Amino acid sequence: MKIYFAQDCKQFGPIEINELNPSILTPDTQVWYQGLSSWREASSVEILNEYFEIQKSLQPIEPVHHKTKFSFSKFLRFQLQQKKPSW
């Protein structure tokens, strides 16, 4: 299915759903395809809801931030203390 979408008051498309990119289409993007009577928010179009669900599952997991700050100088001192002289 080919859809048109609008961004910054400009119309783009047609584009196949499988060619969509998350940076292009968000739930509040206005879309239209043959069969719709008027432009709608993408989140209100049933077939695009499946697209958004898939995109959510592909989102990267945010890294866990440790409470301790990494200090390169402390790391280097630690590494140097661990090394024993070879003589």
Number of domains observed in the structure of the chain: 1
Distance separating alpha carbons of residues 14 and 33, to the nearest angstrom: 8
* Between 40 and 63, residue with greater pLDDT: 40
Residue for token pair 């047609």: 14
Share of the chain above pLDDT 70, in %: 67
Residues spanned by the domain of 19:
2-58
Q: Is the pLDDT of residue 25 over 90?
A: no
The predicted pLDDT at position 82 comes to 64
In a domain, 18, yes or no: yes
In a domain, 30, yes or no: yes
The predicted pLDDT at position 54 comes to 80
In a domain, 8, yes or no: yes
Distance separating alpha carbons of residues 5 and 29, to the nearest angstrom: 7
Q: Is the pLDDT of residue 40 over 90?
A: yes
In a domain, 66, yes or no: no
The predicted pLDDT at position 37 comes to 92
